[in-house]
Amino acid sequence: MYKRIFTKNLLNLTIVVIIFLIDRLSKNYILELSELQNGLDIYLNPYINLYLIWNKGIAFGLLSFNNNFTYHIVTVLIAIIISIMLIAVIKTDGFKKYSLLIVLSGALGNIFDRIYYSAVPDFIDIHIKDFHWFIFNIADIFITLGIICLIYAELFFNKTIDDKKN
């Protein structure tokens, strides 16, 4: 029994560590590249550029603040949300658990940056001609993917009592 619990938790921890490391490695690479080139603006193809910005807000630069007090309040709120997600991961299983782990991993990557750099480095710029989407990073991709999986799980895996009777 203990071996099964250990193996299950080891898998969960491995998922979190791998996603966190992918995010860290990508951000470290971009930061080093930016330092070497004294800035970063790389054209990859007609739809994707690498362009480094420092995001002090939440996902996709929303709610960006120059006020340190507000920044710290938002950081504390994000830490509380991460703690709640950790509890949800412990209490959930199956597809939802792995979806939450993906969101949690990305959130950990971004909160690390908020604490270490006082901002999150975003660098993936997707655009079509002059229309640019919000600039984001690898952690944001995992957060978004995990949320999409959670929505999918809610829509297709949750059955109401009435559905179970039929």
> Which active-site residues does the annotation give?
122, 140
Contact indicator for 40, 30 with CB cutoff of 8 Å: yes
Residue 110, CA distances (Å) to 4, 78, 117 in order: 31, 10, 10
Question: Tokens 């938790």 — which residue?
Answer: 9
- Measured between alpha carbons, how far is 157 from 154 in angstroms, rounded to an integer? 6
CA 59-43-20 angle, 5° bins: 40
* Radius of gyration (C-alpha) of the chain in whole angstroms: 18
Q: Report which of 113, 96, 146 is spatially closest to residue 30, judged by C-alpha positions.
A: 113
Question: Tokens 């990508």 — which residue?
Answer: 26
What lies within 8 Å, CB to CB, of 80 at 6+ separation is: none
